[in-house]
Amino acid sequence: MKIGIGNDHSAVEMKNQIKEYLESMGHEVVNYGTDSTDSCNYPEFGEKVGRAVADKEVDCAVLICGTGVGISIAANKVNGVRAAVCSDCATARLVKQHNNANIIAFGARIVGIELAKDIVKAYLDAEFEG
């Protein structure tokens, strides 16, 4: 699967770890986020990833900012995007099963890296039931 990933300055380290995790699972990962910890404008990265998903450049995506909320709001402004903030595995599974979310988001200041990996896996393992 081809998965987009985007982040702001608060989530560079987590983005790199999630990217590595996804690649270890055999996925191709396209980085649309910043690699700098200098303060940046998170909506730019949310929109970039949203457009990549809507234009079918990637199959789905992961967004990470401080809370996951701001970057997901930016992505959701792109027509065709269904981005959902997930802070637990049940939500990650359900947003795919019930809402056919094509982007998940979480906060680097909210969840730790192991939970973030579990959230990504729960989302990817789920299938839309519609």
* Average pLDDT of the residues in 26-49: 95
Count of C-beta atoms within a 10 Å radius of residue 19: 19
Mean pLDDT, rounded, for 51-76 = 98
The residues with which 63 forms a beta bridge, in sequence order, are 6, 105
Question: Is-above-0.85 flag for pTM?
Answer: yes
Non-local (6+) Cβ contacts of 4 within 8 A are 29, 30, 32, 49, 52, 53, 57, 58, 60, 61, 62
Residues annotated as part of the active site: 65, 98
What digits encode the pLDDT tens for the residues 92-120?
999 999 999 999 999 999 999 999 999 99
